[in-house]
Homo-oligomer: A and B are copies of this chain.
Amino acid sequence: MPVSWYYSGRAVRFTDKLLSASRQNRSLLCIGLDPDPELMPVADVLEFNKSIIEATGDLVCAYKPNLAFYEALGTGGPGILEQTIKHIPGDIPVIGDAKRGDIGNTAKAYAKALFSVYGFDAATVSPYLGADSVEPFTDYRDKGVFILCRTSNPGARDFQDLRTDGLPLYEVVAQRAAEWNAHDNVGLVVGATYPEQLGRVRSICPDMCLLIPGIGAQGGDLPAAVGYGVDARGEKAIINVSRQVLYASRGKDYASTARKAAERIRDQINDCRERAL
């Protein structure tokens, strides 16, 4: 059954779309489309993105553009992002990595921008402002909402690990996220650089999708990330890689080299997955 059958003519829930693409491409790999002018081998961002997408579309479960890199391009950036999203095959979910978080009224405008204007299938949001900052996103029931939980950076320790009533803050966030999951469309962002914490989050939220950055340039441990990240069926973990694929080659062969890098990582993930089950 072609994946495209699945969503023709009606809204598809994010998790269904993700699992469908993931099974079709036998992949938990998500490529972060983060064009950095200082690292790109070509000057044209849209050309670069299109080449990467064309070279890797059958190897991924999702793509994840981080909006920062498009905003940094100037007022033309959003147009490039829009064209990039349009170039992604319709059966591959696209996660808008925006980490937005604002009060209800404003969160509604952000959710509209990400889901209605750009048409992302999912978005990342920050938990700091609490329930009414997340709800305008989860109200889009067909869209996925990934709440920042334990991030992959060194500064994650500053607040996310603080103990509140015996639990680190990120575990409280995971518990709340599970409570806020009334429409079954909430996931969490947990960095691969902290496998132990990833395991804790997976045990708090056994059925939720986890978006896991931090492999590659950030030095996360792939076997541990996969082993702790997947659900009981070996699914619902989205392993994001950006720079390690996008900039695998800085020469003219960048697209074919990106494909080789993506294929290698996808296969490594699948090896880890088999060992984990």
Contact = CB atoms under 8 A, between A and B. Distances in A.
B126 A101 contact: yes
Nearest to A162: B164
Interface stretch (A20-28, A107-115, A225-233, A267-275): A107-115
Interface in A153-192: 153-160, 162-165, 169, 172-173, 176
Interface string A80-114: 01100000000000000001111110110110110
B78 A117 contact: no
Which interface class (under 10, 10 to 19, 20 to 34, 35 or more) fits A?
Answer: 35 or more
Contacts of A42: none
Nearest to A135: B155
Interface stretch (A8-16, A65-73, A255-263): A65-73
A148 interface: yes
A6 interface: no
B172 A106 contact: no
A133 interface: yes
How many copies of this protein are present in the complex? 2
Contacts of A78: 71, 74-75, 77-78
Contact of A159 (B103, B130, B132): B130
Given A78-B75, A148-B128, A159 B169 contact: yes
A104 B164 contact: no
A144 interface: no
A100 B69 CA distance: 13
A112 B169 contact: no
13 contacts: A68-B100, A71-B78, A71-B113, A77-B113, A78-B78, A99-B100, A101-B101, A126-B128, A131-B155, A158-B176, A159-B173, A164-B169, A169-B169
Top 10 closest pairs, chain A to chain B, by CB: A130-B155, A130-B158, A71-B113, A68-B109, A103-B153, A132-B155, A162-B164, A72-B109, A75-B78, A131-B155
Given A36-B109, A68-B113, A162-B172, 18 more contacts: A71-B78, A71-B113, A72-B110, A72-B113, A75-B117, A101-B148, A103-B218, A127-B158, A127-B159, A128-B151, A128-B160, A130-B155, A130-B158, A130-B159, A131-B158, A132-B154, A132-B155, A159-B173
